[in-house]
Chains A and B, each alone.
Chain A
Amino acid sequence: MPRMTMIEAIRDAHAVMMEANPDVVVFGEDVGYFGGVFRCTAGLQERFGKSRCFDAPINESGIVGAAIGMAAYGLRPVVEIQFADYVYPAYDQIVSEAARLRYRSAGDFTAPLVVRMPTGGGIFGGQTHSQSPEALFTHVSGLKTVVPSNPYDAKGMLIAAIEDNDPVIFLEPKRLYNGPFDGHHERPVTPWAKHPLGEVPEGRYTVALGKGEVRRAGSAVTVLAYGTMVHVALAAAEDTGIDAEVIDLRTLVPLDVELIEASVKKTGRCVVVHEATITSGFGAELVATVEERCFYHLEAPIGRVGGWDTPYPHAQEWNYFPGPARVGEALKRAMEG
């Protein structure tokens, strides 16, 4: 089976879908001739032509707004926002338009588009290249929000997202593009080539939206994570020797509640982890869900680890990033509680 980085897997998902369906079009800033600043669309323009993959003016509102129009016409637009930190000008189009078009027209019009964007820190990108805005999307009815954590899922979920008839926000943790980063920034980078989930089948396959996956089975405590933090949580379990069950949520909305509930009822303890700022983060939703469904099974307060409530700093990146040490402390607290 071919081995791919997450970038190659995303590129391949585009190619598979563009080959299979002439209605799939791809555009965004620098995505055409150059193939994207992270190279996720490299070669697509050459292969499928300029009217299927092209450079857009620097106008995120325009990119998403135009994609909505195309989607309403019947195309399957997949657009790239260069960094999630730049999505805010498009927020009105996403929230007021894409998310509600089906509802307000009673299904007369729909907007089956995918908005891809690199998220998260770990590259010394400062405030404008590090943010994790997933909660801004999960709060909006009508959107599906997904965060793959490895090449296999990235390809399968992107294909599923393109085939989905609702708008999908596809968040790509950029620190995972080239390897399963576990937060140990002082250690050498591990490439995807050495990871089982770097094995990516050729052709079309899907990873269903709305389904999580157990990455590490355990009996002591359930860790709910997504994106980069899945690998950080695995490292924290390893470092502390705590037999954690690490769940990769993969899709935040719609959430795989059954998987979460079964695990927490088994372990009786739970820690939720994300990189985004903690206050009103998606972790709050997870804590509430676990509390509602598993309260009588809990043996300790639910732990929550996230980014501090500050803008993402430049120099203090590793003090900001919730690495394995902080997650490990939360695991220990959950075991003591």
Chain B
Amino acid sequence: MDLKLSLHVPEPEVRPGGRPDFSGVKIPKAGSVKRPPVDVDPAEIRDLAYSIIRVLNREGRAVGDWAGSLTDEELLAGLKTMMRVRAFDRRMLMAQRQGKTSFYMQCLGEEAIACAFRKAIEAGDMNFPTYRQAGLLIADDYPLVDMMSQIYSNRRDPLKGRQLPILYSSKDHGFFSISGNLATQFVQAVGWAMASAIKNDTRVAAAWIGDGSTAESDFHAALVFASTYKAPVVLNVVNNQWAISTFQGIARGGSGTFAARGLGFGIPSLRADGNDYLAVHAVSKWAVERARRNLGPTLIEWVTYRAAAHSTSDDPAAYRPKDESDAWPLGDPITRLKNHLVTIGAWTEERHVQAEAEIDAEVLAAQREAETFGTLHDGPGPSVRDMFEDVYETLPPHLRRQRQEAGY
């Protein structure tokens, strides 16, 4: 018997040049996972951490316990919101390529998660998003011109040119300032939720993180705080399979699923189809209701796929098969919701094509307006004076001297 040790380093099933293979992704039938009452004993629903809650079936029908959380009108609005996010991404990606800004990150393929989640929370609730939840803002009708102005760091930029593109911030829209560091804000969401409980308020928080960043210590810190204090928080893990070039197995290790991370903390942990707008809304609603009723935190793993590059600085062809996105078994969230609405007679292909054109025109008009306020390299940008503001509440003498030295 050979007793020598060897190091185990997980590898994805397939690398560039290979055939995409998602046969290992076990996908339960839509409607097959039961919807427990929100006050269920977490110990009784541990299996939900290993399944996938789905509502839309292959025929485009909404089936099972989790169906019916939204009206047809609300679904149609959701479809248009996702289309708006996608059109926005397309325009801004192009703008980055044209040199109008330094950097961009798309939500491609993940639009349903942020867009539907936003519809499950209320004004006054707070998201602590990552850089791939722009849908939270767009679904809440945050002005596209302001988002674009932030991306362009122009003189209308609400963040005064200080932040990288897409690291938005809007307290009014329940969107906490994105730091750009990973996982640091997951535990802050728990603290925000604890504050709401301390103040006997009614507001809840939503924490957001990607599969890769669950490896960070702050993720685990968030879980222990949420578990100990039963904080009114929804802990969202967006598993889009890839952390830049690193497949999700490196962060997941031997735990089977990311949702299963919550089980050791006694946190109800669900896994849901992130490309199914109806499932996202229904599961979010369930978790938000639990939080609102003071029943404590819920961890949700949204199973999805990062269809685009990590960012404009990345080329995924170097580490995954080019056609892997097409092989992703949970499909595209916009196509799936559109097919559902067509199937139930609430929408048609013709109207969809027309809506695409309308939304693209709307986004283009916003882009043109934003560009009247400047782009990154074609100013006028924010003032250099702004660089020295907000470091402290009031400008201290040493910064005043430095500002003068800088000529402003």
Contacts and interface: CB of A to CB of B under 8 A. Distances in A.
A89 B245 CA distance: 21
A72 B245 CA distance: 30
A318 B155 CA distance: 17
Interface in A273-319: 278-279, 308-311, 313-316, 319
Interface stretch (B117-125, B176-184, B268-276): B176-184
B245 A314 contact: no
A52 B212 CA distance: 22
A319 B244 contact: no
A34 interface: yes
Interface string A82-102: 000110110000000000000
B161 A313 contact: yes
A58 B162 contact: no
A62 B212 CA distance: 13
Interface string B168-196: 00000000000111110000000000000
A128 interface: yes
A61 interface: yes
A59 B243 CA distance: 12
A59 B163 CA distance: 24
Contacts of B314: 37
B217 A61 contact: yes
B9 A308 contact: no
B327 interface: no
B319 A128 contact: no
A124 B152 CA distance: 12
A27 to B, nearest CB: 9
A54 interface: yes
A129 interface: yes
Given A310-B387, A315-B376, A126 B163 contact: yes
Contacts of A163: none
Contacts of A261: none
Interface string A125-138: 11111000000000
Contacts of A316: 161-162, 381-382, 384, 386-387
Main secondary structure of the interface of A (DSSP, over half): loop
Contact of A58 (B180, B243, B319): B243
Contact of A311 (B218, B391, B402): B391
A320 B167 contact: no
Contacts of A55: 9, 245-246, 250
Interface string B376-402: 100001101011100100000011001
A57 interface: yes
Interface string B12-53: 000100000000000000000000000000000000000000
Nearest to B402: A308
A315 B9 contact: no
Contacts of B163: 126-127, 314
Contacts of A315: 153, 157, 161-162, 376, 381-382
B251 interface: yes
B318 interface: yes
Contact of A127 (B180, B218, B251, B381): B180
A58 B9 contact: no
Contacts of B6: 51
Given A55-B9, A56-B250, A125 B245 contact: no
B347 interface: no
Interface in A118-160: 124-129
Nearest to A45: B9
Contacts of B366: none
B385 to A, nearest CB: 10
A32 B153 CA distance: 35
Interface in B178-234: 179-183, 212-213, 215-218
B102 interface: yes
A128 B163 CA distance: 9
Contact of A89 (B165, B180, B218, B398): B218
B387 A33 contact: no
B369 to A, nearest CB: 19
B215 A126 contact: no
Interface string B230-255: 00000000000001111000110100
Nearest to B159: A314
Contacts, number: 127
Interface string B308-324: 00000110001100000
Given A54-B9, A126-B164, A128-B164, A34 B245 contact: yes
A49 B318 CA distance: 18
A86 B386 contact: no
Given A51-B9, A126-B163, A313-B162, A57 B251 contact: yes
A310 B161 CA distance: 13
Contacts of B213: 58
Interface string A29-73: 110111001000000000000110011111111100000000000
A37 B165 CA distance: 19
B353 interface: no
Given A30-B244, A308-B406, A50 B7 contact: yes
Given A55-B250, A308-B388, A314-B162, A34 B399 contact: no
Contacts of B244: 29-30, 34, 37
Interface in A220-243: none
Nearest to A37: B244
Given A58-B182, A85-B181, A308-B387, A33 B245 contact: yes
A314 B103 CA distance: 11
A61 B215 CA distance: 10
B153 A314 contact: yes
Nearest to B253: A57
A308 B217 contact: no
B270 to A, nearest CB: 23
Nearest to B213: A58
B9 A314 contact: no
A59 B161 contact: no
Contacts of B251: 57-58
Contacts of B153: 314-315
Contacts of A128: 164, 179-181
A320 B384 CA distance: 9
Given A50-B11, A51-B6, A320-B387, 12 more contacts: A34-B318, A37-B313, A50-B7, A85-B181, A89-B218, A128-B164, A128-B181, A308-B388, A309-B398, A310-B399, A315-B157, A316-B384
- The 7 lowest CB-CB distance pairs between A and B, nearest first, are A315-B161, A57-B215, A34-B245, A315-B153, A126-B164, A128-B180, A124-B102
14 contacts: A30-B246, A33-B319, A50-B11, A57-B215, A57-B253, A58-B243, A58-B251, A126-B167, A308-B403, A308-B406, A310-B399, A314-B163, A315-B162, A315-B382
